Chains A and B, each alone.
Chain A
Amino acid sequence: MAEPDLLKTSVGGIVRHLVTTAGGALATSGVIAADDVTVLVGAVMALFGIAWSILQKWLAARNPGSTTLSAALPSTILAVVLALAVAGCSAVPKPRDAKDALAIAEYTVQGLTDTALAATQAGLIRGSAASEALDKLSALRGGLAIARAAVANGDPDADLKVRALDGLVLALSTFLEARGVSGPGSPPPQSESPSQPRPQASGLVVSLFSGRELRHVR
Chain B
Amino acid sequence: MSVSPATINLALQLALTLLRGVQNGRLTLERIEALVGGAQAEGREITEAELRALAAETDSKLDALEAALKGEAAAPN
- Give the B-binding residues of A (Cβ under 8 A): 1-3, 5, 66-71, 73-74, 77-78, 81-82, 85, 88-93, 95-97, 99-100, 102-104, 106-128, 130-131, 133-134, 137, 140-141, 144, 148, 151-152, 180-184, 203, 205-206, 209, 212-213
Interchain CB contact under 8 A, B64 and A81: no
A118 CA to B61 CA in the complex, in Å?
Answer: 11
Leading 5 A-B pairs by shortest Cβ distance: A70-B11, A111-B28, A130-B72, A130-B73, A122-B13
Number of A-B contacts (CB under 8 A): 208
Cβ-neighbour of B33 out of A93, A99, A133 (below 8 A) = A93
Interchain CB contact under 8 A, A117 and B61: yes
- Give the A-binding residues of B (Cβ under 8 A): 1-3, 7-8, 10-22, 24-33, 35-37, 39-40, 45-46, 48, 50-51, 54-55, 57-58, 61-62, 64-66, 68-70, 72-73, 75, 77
A110 CA to B55 CA in the complex, in Å?
Answer: 10
A144 CA to B71 CA in the complex, in Å?
Answer: 23
A203 CA to B60 CA in the complex, in Å?
Answer: 26
Cβ-neighbour of B29 out of A151, A180, A209 (below 8 A) = A209
Chain B residues in 8 Å Cβ range of A92:
29, 32-33, 36-37
Known: A117-B64, A120-B65, A134-B66. A181 touches B17 (CB 8 A): yes
Interchain CB contact under 8 A, B3 and A69: yes
Instruction: List 13 additional contacts besides A69-B3, A104-B36, A118-B24; criterion CB under 8 Å.
Output: A1-B10, A71-B11, A73-B11, A91-B33, A91-B37, A111-B24, A112-B24, A114-B24, A117-B68, A137-B66, A181-B18, A183-B25, A205-B18
Shortest Cβ distance from B7 into A: residue = A2
Interchain CB contact under 8 A, B37 and A122: no
Cβ-neighbour of B26 out of A85, A119, A122 (below 8 A) = A85
